[in-house]
Chains A and B, each alone.
Chain A
Amino acid sequence: MNMKTQLPAELPGFFQELVNGPEQDIKPLALNRRGFLKFTGIAGGGLVLGGMALTGDKAFAQPPGAPAPVNATPFVPYVQIKPDGRVTIFSKNPECGQGIKTGMPMMIAEELDCAWSDVDVETADVDAALYGGNQFAGGSLSTPMNWMAMRNAGATARAMILAAASAQLSIPVGELSTGNTKVLHAASGREWPYSEFAERAATMPVPEIASLTLKTQDQFKLMGQRVTGVDNVKIVTGQPLFGADVRLPDMVYATFTKSPQIAGKAVSFNEEHIKSLPGVIDAFIVEPFLDARFFNANSGTHFGGVAVVAETTWAAIRAKRELEVEWDNSSAEVATWDEMVARATAAAQQDGEPIMVTVGPPGPNAQRAPADRGDVAAAFESAAKVLEAFYEYPYVSHAQLEPQTTTALFKDGKIEIWAPAQIPQGGEAGAAVIAGVEPVNSTLHMTRIGGGFGRKLANDYVFEASAIAKRMEGRPVKLQWTREDDMQYDFFRPGGFHSYKAALDENGNLTAFQDHFFSVTGNGTAPMTSADLAPSVFPMDVVPNLKLTQTLFQNGIPTGPMRAPASNALAFTFQSFMHELAVASGKDHVQFMLDTLGGEGPSESPQGMHKGRAANVIRTVAEMAEWGKQMPPNRALGLSFYFCHSGYVAQIADVEVRANKEVKVHKVFAAADFGFIHNPNGAENQLEGGIIDGLSQLFNAKITFKNGVIDQRNFHQYPLLRMPQAPALETKFVQLSPEFAPSGGGEPSMPPLLAAVTNAIYNATGERIRKMPLSDLGYRLV
Chain B
Amino acid sequence: MATLRINGQTMDIGDIDPSTPLLWALRDTLGLVGTKYGCGIAQCGACTVHLNGAPVRSCQIPVGNLTNEEITTIEGLAGPDGALTAVQQAWVDEDVPQCGYCQAGQIMAATALLKTNPSPSDADIDAAMSGNLCRCATYTRIRRAIHVAAGNANSTAFYDAAAPKGVAV
One of A241, A724, A728 near B126 (C-beta < 8 A): A724
User: Which residues from A are CB-within-8-Å of B141?
Assistant: 685, 688
Evaluate contact between B88 and A237: CB separation under 8 angstroms: yes
CA of A278 to CA of B102 in the docked complex: distance in angstroms? 31
Per-residue 0/1 for B116-159: is the Cβ within 8 Å of any A Cβ (1 yes, 0 no)?
00000000011101111111111111110000000000001111
Evaluate contact between A313 and B28: CB separation under 8 angstroms: yes
Evaluate contact between A401 and B46: CB separation under 8 angstroms: yes
Given contacts A253-B28, A688-B138, contact A238 B104 (CB under 8 A): yes
Evaluate contact between B33 and A227: CB separation under 8 angstroms: no
CA of A688 to CA of B142 in the docked complex: distance in angstroms? 12
One of B17, B44, B158, B168 near A314 (C-beta < 8 A): B17
Chain B: CB-nearest residue to A251: B28
Smallest CB separation, B55 vs chain A (Å): 14
> Does chain B have a CB within 8 A of A629?
no
Given contacts A401-B101, A715-B43, contact A314 B92 (CB under 8 A): no
> Does chain A have a CB within 8 A of B160?
yes
User: Which residues from A are CB-within-8-Å of B39?
Assistant: 483, 714-715
Evaluate contact between A684 and B166: CB separation under 8 angstroms: yes
Smallest CB separation, B77 vs chain A (Å): 7
User: Which residues from A are CB-within-8-Å of B136?
Assistant: 97, 451, 685, 689, 693
Chain A: CB-nearest residue to B142: A723
> Does chain B have a CB within 8 A of A312?
yes
Contacts of A215-258 to chain B: CB distance below 8 A: 225-229, 231-233, 235-242, 244-245, 247, 253
Evaluate contact between B37 and A480: CB separation under 8 angstroms: yes
Per-residue 0/1 for A719-753: is the Cβ within 8 Å of any B Cβ (1 yes, 0 no)?
01111101011111100000000000000000000
Smallest CB separation, B33 vs chain A (Å): 4
Evaluate contact between A450 and B95: CB separation under 8 angstroms: no
Given contacts A688-B138, A692-B140, contact A723 B129 (CB under 8 A): yes
> Does chain B have a CB within 8 A of A712?
no
Evaluate contact between B24 and A314: CB separation under 8 angstroms: yes
CA of A691 to CA of B102 in the docked complex: distance in angstroms? 19
User: Which residues from A are CB-within-8-Å of B139?
Assistant: 692, 721-723, 726
One of A96, A236, A400 near B103 (C-beta < 8 A): A236
User: Which residues from A are CB-within-8-Å of B138?
Assistant: 685, 688-689
Chain A: CB-nearest residue to B90: A236
> Does chain A have a CB within 8 A of B1?
no
> Does chain B have a CB within 8 A of A85?
no
Per-residue 0/1 for B17-43: is the Cβ within 8 Å of any A Cβ (1 yes, 0 no)?
101110010011101111111111101
Contacts of A170-223 to chain B: CB distance below 8 A: none
Evaluate contact between B101 and A279: CB separation under 8 angstroms: no
> Does chain B have a CB within 8 A of A452?
yes
CA of A453 to CA of B137 in the docked complex: distance in angstroms? 12
> Does chain B have a CB within 8 A of A47?
no
Smallest CB separation, B31 vs chain A (Å): 6
Evaluate contact between A247 and B33: CB separation under 8 angstroms: yes
> Does chain A have a CB within 8 A of B97?
yes
User: Which residues from B are CB-within-8-Å of A247?
Assistant: 31, 33
Evaluate contact between B43 and A226: CB separation under 8 angstroms: no
Evaluate contact between B92 and A723: CB separation under 8 angstroms: no
> Does chain A have a CB within 8 A of B78?
yes
CA of A649 to CA of B77 in the docked complex: distance in angstroms? 40
Given contacts A314-B20, A401-B101, contact A239 B34 (CB under 8 A): yes
Evaluate contact between A689 and B98: CB separation under 8 angstroms: yes
Smallest CB separation, B93 vs chain A (Å): 7
Evaluate contact between B35 and A238: CB separation under 8 angstroms: yes
Chain A: CB-nearest residue to B92: A232
Given contacts A480-B37, A716-B41, A730-B167, contact A235 B161 (CB under 8 A): no
One of B130, B157, B169 near A723 (C-beta < 8 A): B130
Given contacts A239-B34, A714-B43, A728-B140, contact A450 B168 (CB under 8 A): no
> Does chain A have a CB within 8 A of B73?
yes
Evaluate contact between B33 and A238: CB separation under 8 angstroms: yes
Smallest CB separation, A667 vs chain B (Å): 10
User: Which residues from A are CB-within-8-Å of B46?
Assistant: 401
> Does chain B have a CB within 8 A of A696?
yes
Evaluate contact between A483 and B40: CB separation under 8 angstroms: yes
CA of A231 to CA of B140 in the docked complex: distance in angstroms? 20
Evaluate contact between A312 and B28: CB separation under 8 angstroms: yes
Smallest CB separation, B65 vs chain A (Å): 14
> Does chain B have a CB within 8 A of A6?
no
> Does chain A have a CB within 8 A of B2?
no
User: Which residues from B are CB-within-8-Å of A238?
Assistant: 32-35, 73-75, 104
User: Which residues from B are CB-within-8-Å of A733?
Assistant: 166
Smallest CB separation, A101 vs chain B (Å): 11
The residue among B97, B132, B140, B157 with the most chain A CB atoms within 10 A of its own CB is B140
Evaluate contact between B20 and A312: CB separation under 8 angstroms: yes
Smallest CB separation, A265 vs chain B (Å): 27
CA of A693 to CA of B133 in the docked complex: distance in angstroms? 12
The residue among B93, B131, B141 with the most chain A CB atoms within 10 A of its own CB is B141
CA of A108 to CA of B65 in the docked complex: distance in angstroms? 53
Evaluate contact between B160 and A226: CB separation under 8 angstroms: yes
One of B16, B33, B91, B169 near A245 (C-beta < 8 A): B33
Evaluate contact between B31 and A401: CB separation under 8 angstroms: no
CA of A38 to CA of B137 in the docked complex: distance in angstroms? 45
One of B97, B133, B140 near A722 (C-beta < 8 A): B133
User: Which residues from A are CB-within-8-Å of B40?
Assistant: 317, 482-483, 714
Chain A: CB-nearest residue to B41: A714
Evaluate contact between B99 and A688: CB separation under 8 angstroms: no
Evaluate contact between A450 and B36: CB separation under 8 angstroms: yes
User: Which residues from A are CB-within-8-Å of B158?
Assistant: 226-228
User: Which residues from A are CB-within-8-Å of B161?
Assistant: 225-226
> Does chain B have a CB within 8 A of A403?
yes
CA of A226 to CA of B164 in the docked complex: distance in angstroms? 11
CA of A477 to CA of B137 in the docked complex: distance in angstroms? 32
Evaluate contact between B126 and A723: CB separation under 8 angstroms: yes
> Does chain B have a CB within 8 A of A771?
no
Evaluate contact between B28 and A240: CB separation under 8 angstroms: no
Contacts of B58-109 to chain A: CB distance below 8 A: 73-75, 77-78, 82, 84, 88, 91-93, 95, 97-104, 107
CA of A715 to CA of B57 in the docked complex: distance in angstroms? 15
> Does chain B have a CB within 8 A of A430?
no
Per-residue 0/1 for A66-97: is the Cβ within 8 Å of any B Cβ (1 yes, 0 no)?
00000000000000000000000000000011
Smallest CB separation, A720 vs chain B (Å): 5
Given contacts A238-B75, A313-B24, A402-B36, contact A726 B97 (CB under 8 A): no
> Does chain A have a CB within 8 A of B11?
no
Evaluate contact between B44 and A226: CB separation under 8 angstroms: no
> Does chain B have a CB within 8 A of A680?
yes
Evaluate contact between B37 and A229: CB separation under 8 angstroms: no
> Does chain B have a CB within 8 A of A399?
yes
Chain B: CB-nearest residue to A96: B99
> Does chain A have a CB within 8 A of B115?
no
Given contacts A226-B159, A318-B19, contact A402 B99 (CB under 8 A): yes
User: Which residues from A are CB-within-8-Å of B165?
Assistant: 226, 680, 684
User: Which residues from B are CB-within-8-Å of A680?
Assistant: 165-166
User: Which residues from A are CB-within-8-Å of B41?
Assistant: 483, 714-716
CA of A728 to CA of B141 in the docked complex: distance in angstroms? 10
CA of A689 to CA of B160 in the docked complex: distance in angstroms? 22
Given contacts A226-B156, A236-B92, A715-B43, contact A97 B37 (CB under 8 A): no
Given A483-B38, A724-B127, 7 further pairs, Cβ under 8 A: A229-B100, A244-B36, A245-B33, A314-B19, A730-B167, A730-B168, A731-B167
User: Can you list 12 A-B pairs, Cβ within 8 angstroms, ordered by A?
Assistant: A226-B165, A233-B84, A235-B91, A236-B107, A238-B34, A401-B38, A403-B37, A450-B101, A483-B38, A680-B165, A720-B133, A722-B139
> Closest 9 CB pairs between A and B?
A238-B34, A97-B99, A450-B101, A238-B74, A692-B137, A97-B98, A726-B139, A724-B126, A235-B100
Interface residues of A (CB under 8 A from B): 96-99, 225-229, 231-233, 235-242, 244-245, 247, 253, 278-279, 312-315, 317-318, 399-403, 448-453, 480, 482-483, 680-682, 684-686, 688-693, 696, 714-716, 720-724, 726, 728-733
